[in-house]
Amino acid sequence: MNASVDPVITLEHVSRRYGAKVALGDVTLSIPRGGVLGLVGANGAGKTTLIKHILGLLRAQEGRVRIFGFNPVTEQVAVLQRLGYVSEDRDLPPWITVGELLRYIRSFYPAWDPDYAERLRQQLQLVATARIRTLSKGELAKAALLVALAHRPELLVLDEPSSGLDPLVRRELLEAVVRAVAEEGRTVLFSSHLLDEVARVSDRVAMLTAGRLVLHGELDAIMESHRRIVVRLKQSEPAPPRLPGTISLTGGPEEWTVICDGNVDPFIRGLRQDGGEVLEDTDATFEEIFHAYAATPTRT
């Protein structure tokens, strides 16, 4: 296996249902090594379910999951040796100190580098003798990150790392620490509701809507290809405009706002020939793109 070329995470047609509810529906996704992937989606879109499949906490009911080429359910040790994880609730034992926690975790990792762990503790400004139960929310988030990072995982998975944190700590954690991890050639996957944060930190994004992967790719390419266009149709036009790659369409009956992904130039030429007008034509913001896909589970 060629480690530098093979994807770190591969999901092929992965589905998971809870009764009639589709938590993940036919998700196919391949994440290359290195960089930060921002996983976005509304509440209940399937982000945590997807993360649980990556960690081997859930077995795919259909489809196939591979992490570093390993099956995370049957080869969980091989996967967990290479992976650091911070859950949304950051469950750490409350009675032990930061230093004791590091010593405990060290026992699981033969290649543990104590100098690196110590540097990281200092960088995160955590006091070794402080007990977990005495830490503030921000410090607790840092301690969870310290635990996840100290064994130098090749893949760092963070489920909602910023929830409940103030903007200063968020910047410190995500922009400083997470970017640094990615710059060392390692891979970070983090889920978040904070779209500005995702847009600032991510190299790639993946978006789930009702369990479906509706968008995935390099952030720059996504931002470049999506446009927000406001058109006014000629008065007698009976139907909404049919722009190629329309993701969402609002307004009407004469003035429409369209978020689209595709070459719309031929459409615009035709519209003008028919007496219609383009009132606005701008790049869509990440937030507009997100809301367009969140409103429409499948593309038109």
Residues within the interface to ligand ATP (CB under 6 A): 18, 21, 23, 41, 43-49
Sequence-ordered strand ranges (E) for the chain: 9-18, 21-31, 35-40, 62-67, 83-86, 155-159, 187-191, 204-209, 212-218, 226-232, 246-251, 255-261, 277-283
Q: What angle do CA 107, 148, 43 make, to 5 degrees?
A: 140
Question: Whole-number minimum distance, CB 87 to ligand ATP, in Å?
Answer: 11
- Residue 23 or 268 having the CB closest to ligand ATP: 23
- Residue 47 or 291 having the CB closest to ligand ATP: 47
Question: Whole-number minimum distance, CB 23 to ligand ATP, in Å?
Answer: 3
Q: What angle do CA 274, 276, 282 make, to 5 degrees?
A: 130
Question: Whole-number minimum distance, CB 71 to ligand ATP, in Å?
Answer: 21
Q: What's the CA gap between 143 and 27, in Å, rounded?
A: 32
Question: Whole-number minimum distance, CB 129 to ligand ATP, in Å?
Answer: 34
Classify residue 93 as left (phi > 0), alpha (psi -120 to 50) or beta.
beta
Query: Within 13 Å, how many C-alpha atoms sit on residue 298's CB side?
Result: 3
Question: Whole-number minimum distance, CB 65 to ligand ATP, in Å?
Answer: 15
- Residue 193 or 232 having the CB closest to ligand ATP: 193
Question: Whole-number minimum distance, CB 50 to ligand ATP, in Å?
Answer: 7
- Residue 256 or 290 having the CB closest to ligand ATP: 290
- Residue 18 or 95 having the CB closest to ligand ATP: 18
Q: What's the CA gap between 125 and 84, in Å, rounded?
A: 20
Q: Is there a contact between 259 and 247 (Cβ–Cβ < 8 Å)?
A: yes
- Residue 4 or 43 having the CB closest to ligand ATP: 43
